[in-house]
Chain A
Amino acid sequence: MLSFVGKRLGSLVVVLFFLTLLVFTLGKVADSDPVRTYVGVNASVEAVEAAREELGLDDPIPVQFASFVGGAVQGDFGVSLASKRPISDELSTRLPATLELAGWALTLTVLIGVSLASLYSRPGRIGAVLRFVFFSAASAPSFLIAMLSVLVFYKWLGGMLPAAGRSSYGPYDDGTGFYVIDGILHASPTYTWDAIQHLLLPALAASVGAGVALARVLADGISSSLSSPWARTARALGEREGTIVRRHALRNASSPALSLLAVQAGFMVSSLVVVEQVFSWNGLGSYLSSAIGVGDFPAIAAVCLILGAVYVVLNTLVDVALAAVDPRVRLS
């Protein structure tokens, strides 16, 4: 297993290099002039040209690429053209925000998937109605779910859950950036509960579609497992139905479900871009969204690198988990 993980992490370097090359090429091919973002709309022609030179935008593209990669290797992504702050500083606060939201969204995805799996395969009209509802929820775009949830839980239910931000209190100066963990570390139930409340709606919006998809795969897997010969044997030996589902069928069905979860995690990253905007969540998604709008290329490239790394690591973890739950899977 260690060798497998080592190889995967080794491949991360290659993936990130080509990802950087791709993002850089797209940035240069696209019609984009970010200098006004940096100097201000009213800047004189001389100021614009001076800034272009200062930012190295007049350099040959290979030189710009080498300069960016050289800095990125040392963790220096340069300065954001929009905010004029060091990008690495901005990422250090935004990465934990996105990871915390993604972690909660993935957890909710699993909870929704496992909870709905049994309902999904219900026979008869009730099952058909439930499947229709699940299909509708899964096909609704995450921004729609996000906006609806704000309307319901913030506006109509009198601010039952917050509509924006990560906390009512801001970050702890010595915090990890993961607000729920920070609340626990500082022994503050008020802060912890507040952070959880802020997490619920965005995590729900990001997880509904993935959760229903997971439920479908799990339900199909459980259904086919329960009709297999070994299930009949287990029943004949007097095993209770619930035990057969929990101890045997669910485990058999979890292999394709985990594979799906890895794919959904990738999609979730893209849906977080929208969800973070709706909830003013100060993460990588909202950062990327605003950076694209103004052509803040160094910020775009840095976020893509980080998200690429997260995606590869996540897939590696899922592969390891697959081998753990299904002995037929061998890591190689």
Chain B
Amino acid sequence: MNRRTTFALAGAAALALGLSACSSAEETLPGQSAGSSDAADLDTTLDMGLSSDISAPDPSSAYSGSEMNLVLAAYEGLLKYANGTEDAEIVPSLATDWTVSEDGLTYTFTLRDGVTFADGTPFTSAAVQPSVDRMLAEGASGPGYMVGGIASIDTPSDTEVVFTLEAPNDAFLDYLASPFGLKMISPDALAAHGDDAEWFAANSAGTGPFQYAKFDEGVSYELTANESYWGDTGGYESIEFHILDSTNTIQLQLESGELDGYIGSANKPLFDALSANEALNAYTYPSMMAPVVYLNPSHDILADAETRLALLSGVDWDGIVQSVYGDLGTTSAGVFPSTMVDSSLNQAGITYDADALAALAEGGLAGESITISYPSYVPGGQDIADNLAAQLNTVGIKAESVGLESSAYWSSVFDPEKAPDITLMSIFPDAAHPDTWARLLYSSEGGLNLFYPEIDGLDAVLDEAVETGDHDLYGDVTSLVAGSGDYYTVADLKVSAAFQASITGAESASYPLLGITFDFTQLSPGQ
């Protein structure tokens, strides 16, 4: 490049910059009209960090954790769980009152009057049937089952809806209150976009306090306050969820004030680090998430229930839970999450026996080696598996822990030839009813009954319990499951969150089922 060319290029660059500078007075940034500034609304935007991208926040099919915060901010169901409570208490949402017939088949709801969807359509009972229909269609492979047992829906008036079930289902109210449960969608939006999943992935048409605004997929998701919301939208005019692939970055941005808050899992190191920062307030919330250990009865070394039970009682679970979760975990006493079933019905009866493992090492497990697998995304999964392996190795039972990415994990646990001897999963129920937990984990066709052990009589007890509503039967479920030695619920977990110290209302904003879903109307920027 000769000198003349160099000067020409430098001149062009200077000209470009000069032109840009000249027009700076009228420059337009994305999301703004010319000359406007975003300085005025900075304090009323809640910037939240997420450690991984979310799936499409479609109200009819969303079925995992993170995107539910978007769904619950923009949509409401007839019922919900109260926020800020230890137990999952069902409270009114779009239904103000309800009755259940004596035969358990008919549920009558009085709907809230004067509610409009964000698109301006009035909320009436006419919205219920199309919302149910879309959930059945779009949520068929996920939460659609929650409205699957409805025989008919009648709407005697605009403010009354009557569900008639095909069979009594004691979990039905929990299904309606669940974050994954039925959400009301504007009939006008359904008529225009009903089967267009792409539209519902980026646009909302609910009655919630916020509505979907600008989605920069994989980067950030912005929600703005719904001006026509029937209640109080809280202290923020908008919420922006930022996808940050690393919790280190989230921590740095919280410390610098760039982020207002972060809702995490039971991540002890991160919680400890955020708790130590005086500019932040760290919170813990109850959840029904729990790590569960599965023992594989189809493997010869663990085929005997006595061996499995001896192994479970020989492990120092208190020590493991304390070292892995600290204040975020409590050793479980039963097979259900502690807030799901009355403690008198939820006692597994597995007590620590310091000599049990040594006896196994010289007896049933002499010379054997045990593989313990866990999916790498489970919070504390590696630490639990490593601790468990260490305790076994200490007494002479050769054991190794193996972490797998989720797709490899799912490929191995259901394959009899590749399945490990022991595995660990983090479980969250679809609703706070014990049937959803037990049917998912323990029934013969449960989606997370990983090694497919069948416990004699269990399915019948579950069916009877959910039909009759007799919760005492879950005591029988506890006995059957605990006695099998196939499963061990390790701990009741709390999830953690951190917000800038000036933000108020965070202590009671969490919904108790998952802990990681929030009622953002509770939050205010403070002074």
Contact = CB atoms under 8 A, between A and B. Distances in A.
Interface string B158-178: 000000000000000000000
Nearest to B32: A169
Contacts of A184: 16, 20
Contacts, number: 186
B5 interface: no
Given A43-B63, A187-B19, A85 B141 contact: no
A155 B447 contact: no
Interface string A22-60: 000000001111111111111111111011001000000
A292 interface: yes
Interface residues of B, number: 64
Nearest to A31: B411
Given A43-B63, A47-B140, A188 B28 contact: yes
A165 B120 CA distance: 35
Given A83-B56, A192-B20, A293 B405 contact: yes
B243 A171 contact: no
A43 B430 contact: no
A287 interface: yes
A47 B447 contact: yes
A102 interface: no
Given A164-B253, A187-B27, A280-B246, A83 B53 contact: yes
B358 interface: no
Given A150-B249, A164-B244, A191 B405 contact: no
B243 A280 contact: yes
A189 B20 contact: yes
A86 B56 CA distance: 11
Contact of B252 (A34, A41, A154, A189): A154
A34 B140 contact: no
B433 to A, nearest CB: 14
Interface of B: 16-17, 19-21, 23-24, 26-31, 52-56, 63-64, 140-142, 145, 197-198, 201, 214, 216-220, 242-246, 248-249, 252-253, 255-256, 258, 376-377, 405-408, 410-412, 414, 418, 428-430, 440, 445-448
B55 A286 contact: no
Given A33-B407, A42-B447, A188 B16 contact: no
Contacts of A90: 217-218
Contacts of A183: 20
A154 B256 contact: yes
Contacts of B216: 93, 170-171, 282
A201 to B, nearest CB: 12
Interface of A: 30-48, 50-51, 54, 82-86, 89-90, 93-94, 147, 150, 154-155, 159, 163-166, 169-173, 175, 183-184, 186-192, 276-280, 282, 286-287, 289-290, 292-295
B27 A50 contact: no
B20 A187 contact: yes
A42 B214 contact: no
A150 B252 contact: yes
Q: Which of A164, A190, A282 has the most CB of B within 10 A?
A: A164
Contacts of A48: 141, 447
B65 to A, nearest CB: 10
Which 7 residue pairs of A and B lie closest in terms of their CB atoms, listed nearest first? A295-B407, A40-B63, A33-B411, A188-B27, A187-B23, A33-B410, A47-B141
Contacts of B217: 83, 85, 89-90, 93
Contact of A50 (B19, B141, B445): B141
B218 A163 contact: no
B142 A40 contact: yes
A41 B418 contact: no
A171 B440 contact: no
A51 B256 contact: no
Q: Which of B217, B245, B440 has the most CB of A within 10 A?
A: B245
Contacts of B376: 293
B27 A163 contact: no
B438 to A, nearest CB: 13
B23 to A, nearest CB: 4
Given A43-B63, A83-B55, A163-B253, A37 B407 contact: yes
Contacts of A83: 53-56, 217-218
Contacts of A159: 256, 258
Contacts of B447: 42-45, 47-48
A30 B31 contact: no
B252 A170 contact: no
A186 B27 CA distance: 7
15 contacts: A33-B407, A41-B448, A46-B445, A48-B447, A85-B56, A85-B198, A90-B218, A163-B252, A165-B244, A171-B216, A187-B27, A188-B20, A191-B29, A295-B408, A295-B411
A31 B408 contact: yes
A287 B218 contact: yes
A87 to B, nearest CB: 12
A42 B430 contact: yes
Contacts of B218: 83, 90, 93-94, 282, 286-287
A287 B53 CA distance: 10
Given A31-B411, A54-B141, A150-B249, 6 more contacts: A32-B407, A42-B440, A45-B445, A166-B219, A188-B24, A279-B249
Nearest to A94: B218
B408 A51 contact: no
Nearest to B19: A187
A170 B219 contact: yes
Contacts of B258: 159
Given A41-B64, A83-B53, A154-B252, A31 B20 contact: no
Contacts of B197: 84
B219 to A, nearest CB: 5
Contacts of B446: 44-45
A278 B246 contact: yes
B145 A294 contact: no
Contacts of B201: 84-85
A278 B54 CA distance: 18
B409 to A, nearest CB: 8
Given A42-B447, A171-B216, A290 B52 contact: yes
Contacts of B28: 186, 188
Given A37-B406, A84-B201, A85-B217, A169 B29 contact: yes
A187 B27 CA distance: 6
A143 to B, nearest CB: 10
Contact of B55 (A82, A175, A186, A188): A82
Contacts of B23: 187
A185 B29 CA distance: 12
A35 B30 contact: no
A39 B410 CA distance: 12
B246 A42 contact: no
